[in-house]
Structure 1
């Protein structure tokens, strides 16, 4: 189709009537209302602070209130960016890991494949353990919580999601242990992009859920092992051989 982007072609998020497209349209429609509310808050602040203190103080506080309101709505809008683009958040998590854990001696393998179990977005290997990171983006307002130790998204259990992620982590651990010739445990975690988490981080069905930066902080503060830098490198080499990129085996890649 002429005029379409080769980078966005066939992405459901850009199809008319998709949840992302509807959300974007409603957000744009609400722009005038947000501006009116901001102007009212700033004006009320200006009058009140001018009467209580002086005009200069009133102007400063009015600017501060308007800026705060702008920042809050900007945060709300950008929090759903990954979902609005029809993505799951792998690239965003890659950036966070690059500037945090990778600078602290951790090794990160991106877009690997666990044989017979599907893709692993990121495999983080560090002194404190090995984590298989999965990314999911949910729409704004989607409630993500746990009840009785089980995951619920908008009141519905996510048996398929958690079972698949748990099985993937166990299979990855088995494959890496076989190559490394030492027992290796892989802990599944899920980075939540967007949505509304009732509490973070939280554990459900044996998996920790949190926004990216909070999840990274949790991994640093909750080590599952105590490995030397040499052991980290050895496990990383084993993982490279055990988990191919994009489903390719080493012999096929060669």
Structure 2
């Protein structure tokens, strides 16, 4: 049509642009659903993103920890602006992830079990870390979304912020919940290493932060 309306060169250029845009859209959809298609939850992707962003800016990150009695903590991020317990979930690329009245909905259904479990896990982690550190430590739960269709991002529902990995990291760096000095960041990280065991261990490792 462009070639008929203008000239052959313009038609070829527009055809290349349309083909490129179509390829890019299909690649984005394929990339966004890759974690879900492989039956994963997104921890590996989030780990890579954290190592190349916040860790290079002085944040400390503990990977694959367990909050005894409450389940896994995929990543525990400790930085000048606070402490965040990051949970990862992958949904079908067509799943609609939204919030109404302050509550989370996936394809129109509430997710009470997911949000209640994550909130309880963060509270329990805060209690254990505070006990070891001997100072009050607040742990904020957040959820990294892999795949799915988010109506708006980032958004807060049921007291938890939801966003894709990069936008979630940007949100954490721009929305501090505390004001920790570098020494306090290290002290909290050491306390977290002692308070939260790796994987399925029953006893926390005695080593320092390098055990993360």
What range describes the TM-score normalised by the shorter chain of this pair?
over 0.9
Residues 251 and 136 of structure 1, relative CA distance in 2, 3 Å threshold: closer
Which secondary structure state, in structure 1, belongs to the residue aligned with residue 168 of structure 2?
A: helix
In structure 2, the residue matched to 1:65 is 18
In the TM superposition, residue 251 of structure 1 has moved relative to its aligned partner by: 6.6
In the TM superposition, residue 50 of structure 1 has moved relative to its aligned partner by: 5.7
In structure 2, the residue matched to 1:51 is 5
Contact in 2 for aligned 1:50/1:57 (Cα 8 Å): no
Residues 247 and 135 of structure 1, relative CA distance in 2, 3 Å threshold: same
Matched, 1:123 2:76: yes
In structure 2, the residue matched to 1:86 is 39
Matched, 1:171 2:124: yes
Alignment of 1:95-244 (within 5 A): 95-244=48-197
| CA deviations over 1:62-102 (Å, ceiling 9, x no partner) | 11111111110111111110000000000000011111111
Alignment of 1:31-46 (within 5 A): none
Report the TM-score when normalising by structure 2. Answer: 0.94
Larger helix proportion of the pair: 1
Aligned mates of 2:172, 2:122 — CA distance in 1: 16
Aligned mates of 2:115, 2:204 — CA distance in 1: 29
Residue ranges of structure 2 left out of the alignment (5+ in a row): 208-212
Contact in 2 for aligned 1:50/1:56 (Cα 8 Å): no
In structure 1, the residue matched to 2:204 is 250
Greater gyration radius: 1
RMSD: 1.4
Which secondary structure state, in structure 2, belongs to the residue aligned with residue 244 of structure 1?
A: coil
Residues 228 and 195 of structure 1, relative CA distance in 2, 3 Å threshold: same
Higher relative contact order (CA closer than 8 Å, sequence separation 6+): 2
